[in-house]
A and B are shown apart, each in its own frame.
Chain A
Amino acid sequence: MRDFFVLRVVAKMLIPFMLIFALYVQFHGDFGPGGGFQAGVIVAAAVIFYALIFGLPAARLLVPDALVESMMALGVLIYGGTGIAGMLLGGNFLDYFVLSANPVTGQHVGIFLVEAGVLVTVSGVMLKIFYVFAGRAKLPPG
Chain B
Amino acid sequence: MVIMPLSDHYTYWITILLMVAGLYVVIARSNLIKKLVGLAIFQTSVYLLYIAPGKLIGGTAPIASAQFSVYSNPLPHVLILTAIVVGIATLALGLALVVRIKESFNSIEEDEVLVAVHGDAMSEDGDA
Contact = CB atoms under 8 A, between A and B. Distances in A.
Contact of A122 (B85, B99, B102, B106): B85
Interface string A31-75: 111010100000000000000000000000000000000000000
B17 to A, nearest CB: 28
A120 B13 CA distance: 39
A20 to B, nearest CB: 22
Contact of B63 (A32, A125, A132): A32
A107 B106 CA distance: 53
A112 to B, nearest CB: 18
A35 B77 CA distance: 13
Given A32-B63, A129-B92, A142-B106, A37 B85 contact: yes
Interface in B81-113: 81, 84-85, 89, 92, 95-96, 99, 102-103, 106
Contacts of B85: 37, 122
A122 B88 CA distance: 11
B61 interface: yes
Summarize B's interface: helix, strand, loop or mixed: helix
What is the size category of the interface that chain A forms with chain B? 10 to 19
A129 B103 CA distance: 18
Contacts of B106: 142
B103 A139 contact: yes
Contacts of A142: 106
Interface of B: 61, 63, 81, 84-85, 89, 92, 95-96, 99, 102-103, 106
* Interface pairs A-B: 3 shortest CB-CB: A129-B92, A139-B103, A37-B85
